[in-house]
Amino acid sequence: MIMTTSKPGETVEPGALGRVTFLDGKGDLPMLEISTRWSAAEIYLHGAHVTHFQKKAEPPMLFLSQCSRFAEGQPIRGGIPVIFPWFGRREGLGQHGFARLKTWELKEVVPAPDGSVSVRLRLPDGPEAAGFPRFTAEYIVTVNQALTLQLVVANPARDAEFTFENCLHSYFEVGDIATASVVGLKGLAYEDRVGACVAGRESADALRVAAEVDRIYQDSTGPLEILDPSLGRKIRIEKQGSASTVVWNPWVAKSRQLADFGDEEYRRMICVESGNVGPASIRLLPGAASTLTVKLSTEPLK
């Protein structure tokens, strides 16, 4: 275990060909560059935001908008936004909670003998949490052949419950949205948030995107796959502690409305997000903790 202070320019070699470099990234925001024998990744302390993961000899797994902002108070567009303690709009508050806007504290870099690297970050206290019961939130990112994310939320109170939503709002890179599809949703009920919110049930073995898609699937606990014939690969999403899956592609009109998203970028991304949203909100009893775990991996599409 390496206790660290995030000093730009410092490199630690956790061993077995793993390397973590601390530097000032885009917008001079502090970030970590991680390289292992299998892959490379980037994590900004701003929002504990994983902005990049790429296996050697493969295209990036995560999409990052060329128009993303990298500034205090602004969410990064792409990668894996950490959505907590609420999802969506909340009266008088920002969209998707405040975790993605805070500068998380780097607590430790933990090497493993096989060359994997884990980074543990903690959400600092702040005035934005004043309206909530006391909680702690930590985020562990493990980089090896895969990318594994664990969001651990605890309720240290002796007498107060804490109810929250969480979501790892992952943006995935695809070669061509016109030929990509999502497998693993068939039969699940969903709330369609495009236009008037209506309920539906997924009938497709493989969900295709040919218009704006913004759906929240419930009872979605199993593995999902993004099939991408254009890049000749599949992205596998395995999760524990998640009952909701959100699928989003802004398509043409919404892409043009988003200032931090390119007009044509909808063609090479899809969000398949894992968390607990709406009726699947987490209700933490005093002294309890809850972990959302998501493992992201790629393999050739045969």
Q: Which residues bind ligand TA6 (CB under 6 A)?
A: 75, 88, 95-96, 169, 193, 214, 246, 248, 271, 273
For residue 45, the minimal CB distance to ligand TA6 (Å) is 19
> Nearer Cβ to ligand TA6, position 66 or 95?
95
For residue 87, the minimal CB distance to ligand TA6 (Å) is 7
> Nearer Cβ to ligand TA6, position 162 or 251?
251
Helix or strand run (H / E) with residue 139: strand 136-143
For residue 261, the minimal CB distance to ligand TA6 (Å) is 8
Task: Report residue 266 as tokens.
Answer: 């909808």
The residue at minimum Cβ distance from ligand TA6 is 248
For residue 165, the minimal CB distance to ligand TA6 (Å) is 11
For residue 248, the minimal CB distance to ligand TA6 (Å) is 3
- Number of Cβ within 10 Å of residue 177's Cβ equals 21
Q: Read out DSSP for 212-224?
A: -EEEEESS--S-E
> Nearer Cβ to ligand TA6, position 15 or 262?
262
For residue 99, the minimal CB distance to ligand TA6 (Å) is 12
Q: In degrees, to the nearest 5, what angle opens at C-alpha 229 toward C-alphas 227 and 230?
A: 125
Q: In degrees, to the nearest 5, what angle opens at C-alpha 68 toward C-alphas 64 and 69?
A: 140
**CB contact at 8 A, 131 and 97:** no
14: CB partners within 8 A, 6+ apart? 2, 20, 109, 110, 111, 117
For residue 126, the minimal CB distance to ligand TA6 (Å) is 19
Radius of gyration of the chain (CA): 19
**CB contact at 8 A, 220 and 209:** no
**CB contact at 8 A, 245 and 220:** yes
> Nearer Cβ to ligand TA6, position 135 or 248?
248
For residue 249, the minimal CB distance to ligand TA6 (Å) is 9
> Nearer Cβ to ligand TA6, position 169 or 233?
169
Task: Report residue 28 as tokens.
Answer: 């001079």
> Nearer Cβ to ligand TA6, position 83 or 109?
83
> Nearer Cβ to ligand TA6, position 117 or 226?
226
Task: Report residue 200 as tokens.
Answer: 């539906």
Q: In what order do the strands lie in the sheet containing 30-35? A: 11-15, 18-24, 30-35, 39-44, 49-55
> Nearer Cβ to ligand TA6, position 95 or 136?
95
In one-letter notation, the amino acid at residue 169 is H
DSSP 239: E
